[in-house]
Amino acid sequence: MLKLIRNISIYSFGNVVSRGISFLLLPLYTRVLQPTDYGKLELVYLTGSIMVILFGIRISNGYNRMYFYDKNDVFRKKLFATGQAFTLFCSLAFASFLFVNAKWFAAKIFDFPEGVYFIKLVTLVTLIEVLIQIPLNNLRIREKAKIFVVVSLVNLIVTTGFTIYFVAFAGKGVAGVFYAKILGSLLTVTLLFYITRNEFQLGFSFLQLKLMLGFSIFLIPSNLSALILNMSNRYFLQEYQNLEDVGLYSLGAKLAGIIPFLFTEPVKQAFGPHLFGQIDNPIECKRTLVNFTRIFFAGLSIVALSVSLFSREVVLLMADNSYAGSNNIVFILSISYLFLGLAGIIVLGIHITRKTWIITIVWLISAVASILFNIWLIPIYGRMGAATATMLSVILINVLYLYALHKVYPVKLEYFNFIKILFAMLIFNYVGTFVLFAIFPSILLKILLLAMFVVVIYFSGIIKKEELLKGRNIILKKVSNKTTIYRK
pLDDT tens by residue, 361-371: 998 899 899 99
Question: Has residue 266 got a pLDDT over 80?
Answer: no
- What radius of gyration do the chain's Cα atoms show? 22
Question: Has residue 323 got a pLDDT over 80?
Answer: yes
Predicted local distance difference test score (pLDDT) of residue 13 = 57
Question: Has residue 488 got a pLDDT over 50?
Answer: no
Per-residue pLDDT tens over the stretch 125-172 = 999 999 999 998 888 888 787 788 888 888 888 998 999 999 999 999
- Average pLDDT over every residue of 234-261: 87
Choose the most confident range, by mean pLDDT, from 200-209, 253-262, 417-426: 417-426
- Average pLDDT over every residue of 183-194: 94
Predicted local distance difference test score (pLDDT) of residue 137 = 86
- Average pLDDT over every residue of 282-297: 90
- Average pLDDT over every residue of 69-78: 88
Q: Under 8 Å CB-to-CB from 322, ≥6 apart: which residues?
A: 34, 35
- Average pLDDT over every residue of 204-231: 82
Question: Has residue 360 got a pLDDT over 60?
Answer: yes
DSSP string, 4-43: HHHHHHHHHHHHHHHSTHHHHTHHHHHHHS-HHHHHHHHH
Distance CA 375, CA 22 (A): 29
Distance CA 67, CA 73 (A): 10
| Portion of the chain with pLDDT greater than 70, in percent | 90
Tell me the CA end-to-end span of the chain in Å, nearest whole number. Answer: 26
Total residues found in the chain within this entry: 488
**125 near 21, Cβ under 8 Å?**
no
Predicted local distance difference test score (pLDDT) of residue 8 = 55
Which range is least confidently modeled, 25-39, 325-339, 426-440?
25-39
DSSP state of 58: T
Predicted local distance difference test score (pLDDT) of residue 128 = 94
pLDDT band at 195 (very low <50, low <70, confident <90, very high): very high
Predicted local distance difference test score (pLDDT) of residue 467 = 65
Which range is least confidently modeled, 20-29, 233-242, 251-260, 435-444?
20-29
- Average pLDDT over every residue of 227-253: 85
**114 near 135, Cβ under 8 Å?**
no
319 three-state secondary structure: coil
Question: Has residue 327 got a pLDDT over 50?
Answer: yes
Give the residue from 57, 76, 303, 31 showing the smallest Cα distance to 173: 31
- Average pLDDT over every residue of 458-482: 62
Q: What are residue 122's phi and psi, to 5 degrees?
A: -70, -25
pTM of the entire predicted model: 0.73
Q: Under 8 Å CB-to-CB from 478, ≥6 apart: which residues?
A: 2
Question: Has residue 254 got a pLDDT over 90?
Answer: no
Question: Has residue 204 got a pLDDT over 80?
Answer: yes
- Average pLDDT over every residue of 400-428: 92
Distance CA 405, CA 193 (A): 38
Predicted local distance difference test score (pLDDT) of residue 486 = 39
Question: Has residue 65 got a pLDDT over 60?
Answer: yes
Give the residue from 261, 243, 201, 194 showing the smallest Cα distance to 39: 243
pLDDT band at 378 (very low <50, low <70, confident <90, very high): very high
**CA distance readout (Å), 36 to 33, 366, 384:** 8, 29, 18
DSSP state of 153: H
Exposure on the CB side of residue 152, measured as CA atoms within 13 A: 23
Exposure on the CB side of residue 50, measured as CA atoms within 13 A: 17
Question: Has residue 421 got a pLDDT over 80?
Answer: yes
